[in-house]
Amino acid sequence: MTPELGYAATVAALILAVYGSGAAALSAVKGRADLRRSSERAAVGVWLLVMTCMALLIYAFLTFDFSVRYVAGNTNLGTPFYYRITAVWGALEGSIILWAFMLSIYTLIVMARYRRTQPQLYPWVLAVMLGISAFFLLVMAIPAPPFERLSPIPADGRGLNPLLEDSGMITHPVALYLGFTGFTVPFAFAMAALIIGRTGDEWITITRRWTIVAWYFLSLGLLIGGWWSYHVLGWGGYWAWDPVENAAFMPWLTGTAFLHSVMIQERRRMLKLWNLTLIILTFSLTLFGTFLTRSGIIGSVHAFSQGSVGQFFLGFLALIVLGAFSLLAWRLERLHAQGELDSIVSRESAFLLNNLFLVAAAFTVFFGTVFPLLSEAVKGQKVSVGAPFFNLVNIPIFLALIFLMGVGPLIAWRRASAENLRRNFLTPVAIGIAAAAICRLLGVANALVLLCLALVVFVAATIALDFARAARARRRTGDGWLDATWGLALRQNRRYGGFVVHLGILVVALGVAGSQAWSTQTEATLNRGESMELAGYTIRFDGLQGVEESNHAKVVGTFTVSDRKGPYTVLTPAKKFYPQEQTPIAAVDYRLGFMEDLYLVLGEFARDGSHATIKIQVNRMVSWLWIGGFLLTLGAALAIVPEPRRTPAVARAGQTAAA
């Protein structure tokens, strides 16, 4: 029954979404409130139906309903309970449901929030969002049906991709998709603004917080993805410039650019065309990312299965990009800037440079990602560009961005005077240079690390300086230090949230620089009882043990580790053998530390346990990535929190008196 029910719900949701989108558009054109109400009911219906699909699929997974092809393909009787739920989005078809589900939730929130306050924009926003939902439902109905029936019903399923049996997979796709789908909201508002020709600042103001929401989730998704890569894939890295990682990184870059350039539009009425272009690009890149993962046109470690899904996505991508840019071209004369750039030395130009670099980074990542295609089309050769290309091109860009991160928030608008520059930047520049010099004297020889360090310290100093000044100003009004700090963070939460994000990025940057420069590794074959040394650790191989799990067998190695101070820990890296996989999967074991992680991967071994090959890595400062990442998301969360209403002092006094 489940396949039929699920399919019926999918088709019904598709019909409702198409109808709702059309009705919302028509209601805007004709000004008919009844149609608008009807389209709202359709949106609620879509949400209910997609939720039903989600619930049915979860139920099918929990009850091992192998009459559903997707369930049989992604689970087996040995799959543990919690992974049967995450298996729902473990492959193509289910991930599309998750996508549609999140989009339907965003649609409802937008509906609840703006149906009264934005009577003109809102119907078009609803039309665009429901139209996009309709596309995903179409994918669920035709090329990637999650509820396809399987006949005859097999006795057992194939099982989940073992790499996805990890806690990171519970949260990573959810965060990532909340980010991806989140960009639908600003995109829909941008389209609505273009359609009704109100290309002023209204849509920008509304969508700014939404963009931060999407950005927050996308950042979280990227971070958890890096953590998953680090502790599951067993190669000791967190970022490989794999096409799928790039696919999620590109919208992050353009989204970040957008978050900054909207500030210029708010302040100076400039860059309207640019902001619209950025949001169209960002949303298109989220679709491109999905297209890339689902079409199989570029080889990747994460790629989902192939099929006609790719063609559907490409068609939709073409429709969105061509449609949105045509709309932009049509409204071009309304997008002239009202402000002008007064001086090269100003906050505007710092932000423009920031945008330029971010978009350049997005472009190089795009270029590198599609390069295999380009090369095959032009020269008939399959060539990939790997990490060396991306690192070479992007390291200077990111260093420049860090520098601008220090300049942008403090330099004056319009035209910075020499006094403004001296007052804001002299001390931080001196501190940055001094920090690098001290580290050089302490023995840090890597020039790139020193440069990165100088920049990071410079930026941190600008933030500290700004914060100290503002807090001092508040303290003069009588608040204590703690109140002053806390009050600032809350009152100007967008600014200070931004600063916390910047601090997070600085910590991440140090983590990247340190881990690239100072990590070390070795590989050795040890007999039982034999020891080896690396970077102050002594690692002894104590033997192997076979363990039978519900859905796989594993061989666990025991390694006793001591450091300079004595016994440190016992690590048990393993190799897992899944019947459905051709190659065994390494299960790494590690001890995380603030300055360095010890990371063990079990390689080949003798069946009798007499010897084993072990890869040992000492990864330096990788924890800084997770700490910085936490700060970054914390800052983004702070920036999302609504600013407290500014109640006039008199009214506040009155309230106190009444209380």
Partner 1 sequence: MSGRSRILRWAIPLAVVPVLVLLAYGFRTDPRDIPSPLLGRPASPFKLTAFDGKPVALESLRGQVVVVNFWASWCYPACYEEAPSLERAWKTYKDRGLMMVGVNFQDKDEPARRFLTQFGHTFPNAPDPAGRVSVDYGVYGVPETYFIDRKGRVRFKQVGPVSDQMLKDQIERLLAEEA
- Residues of this chain that interact with partner 1 (CB under 8 A) are 69, 72-73, 150, 154, 157-159, 277, 291, 295-299, 310-311, 314, 317-318, 321-322, 325-326, 328-329, 332-333, 370, 372-374, 376-377, 382, 579-580, 582
Dihedrals phi, psi of 547, to nearest 5 degrees = -130, 135
Least distance (Å) from partner 1 to the CB of residue 278? 13
Q: Which residues contact 618 (CB under 8 A, 6 or more apart)?
A: 519, 520, 521, 534, 535, 537, 596, 597, 598, 599
Cα–Cα distance, 61 to 57 (Å, whole number): 6
Of 122 and 291, which has the nearer Cβ to partner 1? 291
Of 196 and 370, which has the nearer Cβ to partner 1? 370
Of 289 and 504, which has the nearer Cβ to partner 1? 289
Least distance (Å) from partner 1 to the CB of residue 270? 18
Measuring CA to CA, which residue among 522, 530, 535, 511 is closest to residue 600? 522
Cα–Cα distance, 174 to 161 (Å, whole number): 17
Of 174 and 193, which has the nearer Cβ to partner 1? 193
Least distance (Å) from partner 1 to the CB of residue 246? 14
Least distance (Å) from partner 1 to the CB of residue 279? 14
Cα–Cα distance, 540 to 193 (Å, whole number): 66
Least distance (Å) from partner 1 to the CB of residue 275? 14
3-state secondary structure of 139: helix
Measuring CA to CA, which residue among 584, 620, 628, 579 is closest to residue 599? 620
Least distance (Å) from partner 1 to the CB of residue 579? 5
Separation in Å, CA 420 to CA 402, 407, 416, 424: 20, 11, 6, 6
Q: Do residues 49 and 134 lie in contact, with contact meaning Cβ atoms separated by under 8 Å?
A: no
Cα–Cα distance, 205 to 209 (Å, whole number): 8
Least distance (Å) from partner 1 to the CB of residue 299? 3
Least distance (Å) from partner 1 to the CB of residue 36? 30
Of 287 and 435, which has the nearer Cβ to partner 1? 287
Of 518 and 577, which has the nearer Cβ to partner 1? 577
- Which tokens sit at 508? 């991440």
Give the DSSP H/E element, type plus range, for residue 185.
helix 184-196
Give the DSSP H/E element, type plus range, for residue 647.
none
Of 104 and 277, which has the nearer Cβ to partner 1? 277
Least distance (Å) from partner 1 to the CB of residue 312? 12
- 537-548 and 611-620 strand pairing: unpaired
Of 291 and 390, which has the nearer Cβ to partner 1? 291
Cα–Cα distance, 92 to 114 (Å, whole number): 33
Cα–Cα distance, 614 to 605 (Å, whole number): 9
Give the DSSP H/E element, type plus range, for residue 77.
none
Of 303 and 616, which has the nearer Cβ to partner 1? 303
Instruction: Read off the DSSP letter of residue 149.
Output: B
The dihedral through the CA atoms of 183, 189, 194, 195 has a sign that is positive
Least distance (Å) from partner 1 to the CB of residue 146? 16
Of 298 and 359, which has the nearer Cβ to partner 1? 298
Cβ atoms within 10 Å, residue 61: 26
